[in-house]
Structure 1
Amino acid sequence: MTREPRIDEYIAKKAPFARPILEKIRERVHAAVPEAEEAMKWSAPSFTLDGKILIVMAAFKGHAALNFWRGQEIGDGSAKAGAMGQFGQLKSVADLPSDAELDALIKEAAALAATAPATRKTKHEPKPAPTLHPEFAAALDRAPAAKATLDGFPPGAQRDYFEWIGEAKQDATRAKRIATAIEWLSEGKKRHWKYQNC
């Protein structure tokens, strides 16, 4: 077991009532799951297994808290994670479950972490390539400096112009936007240039 110095510092700075609670939790985690690793997550002492969070503990002015990361899935199902953790406001070591009960919950959390699939990030479909309106394309052909500027912009900046012109509902509005776009592009400006230095 490697002790995380930041957890030592965290515990040392907490109120005298909280220190024994935090040390007891730390001791039980390492006794129950020796391969657990210490880490600081969200500025709170945590314990992980193969990169998956098992437990987060914290101390406040008047109480300490113990949260099993997936607490709603361990034990008999009655201990639900909340703002105060699965065991409510801990004000002394006596508020913790017995060593045997706590060890069993820690081992169950470790088993759950070991078998749980890694969380997947939702993949979003890439945006379709923006279409260049034919009238804008013709205007760009007549203004090579504006076309060169647009071609040099990243895709998002190009998209800003394409969408702005493509969204025009009336021909007159589109023509006005194309004229403005050619003017701005000739000056090397992105579509939202007015807001770039705000």
Structure 2
Amino acid sequence: MEKYDPRIDAYIEKAADFAKPVLIHLRHLMHAAAPQITETIKWGMPFFDYKGPVCNMASFKQHCAFGFWKATSLNDPHGLINAGEAAMGSFGRLTSLVDLPSDEILIDFIEQAVKLNEAGVKGNVKKSPGAPKPEIPMPDYFAKVLSQEPKALATFEDFSASHKREYLEWITEAKTEATREKRMATAIEWLNEGKSRNWKYK
């Protein structure tokens, strides 16, 4: 395998316009975090390998996906990895760079994944359950929006703690005010339809 595979250049070139910045950014991060990584194509998708698969990415008509081969073995203190949703990658449906975790977090994941392969860890290793995640307080700005939408508020209040947490994490982790506003508008739309945050993956 080569450090840079021209087939991945061609793959990115053929991707939808929204996907290109995401794919280019992920590819750059891979090599910045782990210069020993090589590229290849498997099952029609770009793969990044070092002593075995590290991760892969894919582009579809309306979203991208990016996943770590041993995702459940990674230390994920922020709870960003969507374990058990391999078809959507490790971070769900990606439609722009704002859907990705920060570069710092991604680089940490990449370095961890490389070390797992160096250590010869096979497959996903189940980690013992840790302490329960702390409760996320309802931010004032989302409470204000919900108070103006009785149906959405009723749906939210009827949700389990885990479903509430999914929405609150998604909204509070927005990196810009514009992204936060967009996510709140989407949340209200989905809540009015009785949908959980991850309804698309159910």
Q: TM-score range by the shorter chain?
A: 0.5 to 0.7
Q: CA deviation at 1:94?
A: 1.1
State the Cα distance separating 1:29 from its structure 2 match. 0.4
Matched, 1:112 2:116: yes
* Match of residue 32 from structure 2: 31
Of residues 55-64 and 81-90 in structure 1, the stretch that sits farther from structure 2 once superposed is 81-90
Q: What is the number of residues matched between the two proteins?
A: 118
Q: CA deviation at 1:86?
A: 1.0
Amino acid at match of 1:13: K
Provide runs of 4+ in structure 1 moved above 6 Å: none
> Counterparts in 2 of 1:6-21, with a 5 A limit?
6-21=7-22
Percent identity of the aligned residues? 40
> Secondary structure of the residue that 1:23 maps to in structure 2?
helix
Which has the greater radius of gyration? 1
RMSD of aligned C-alpha atoms? Answer: 1.6
Greater shift in the superposed pair: 72-81 or 83-92: 72-81
Q: Matched residue of 1:8: which SS?
A: helix
Cα deviation for residue 75 of structure 1 reads 2.7
- Residue of structure 2 equivalent to 1:65: 65
Structure-2 change in CA distance of 1:53 and 1:81 (3 Å): farther
Q: Distance in 1 between matches of 2:75 and 2:94?
A: 19
Match of 1:140 in 2: none
Aligned to 1:45: 46
1:117 to partner: Cα distance: 4.7
Deviations 1:76-102 (A, max 9, x none): 274215211111000001111111100
Output one character per residue of 1:102-135: Cα deviation in whole Å (capped at 9) or x when no partner: 000000000011102568xxxxxxxxxxxxxxxx
Structure 2's unaligned 5+ residue stretches are 124-202
1:103-142 alignment, distance < 5 Å: 103-117=107-121
Gaps of 5+ in 1: 120-198
Q: Which amino acid aligns with 2:76?
A: D
Aligned counterpart, 2:173 = none
- Alignment of 1:100 with 2:101, yes or no, is no
| Residues 107 and 40 of structure 1, relative CA distance in 2, 3 Å threshold | same
- Matching residue of 1:90: 94
Which residue matches 1:76?
Answer: 76
Deviation at residue 2 of structure 1 after TM alignment: 2.9
SS of structure 2 residue aligned to 1:87: coil
SS in 2 for 1:47: strand
Q: Give the letter aligned to residue 103 of structure 2.
A: D
- With normalisation by structure 1, the TM-score equals 0.57
Distance 1:91 1:48, change over 3 A: same
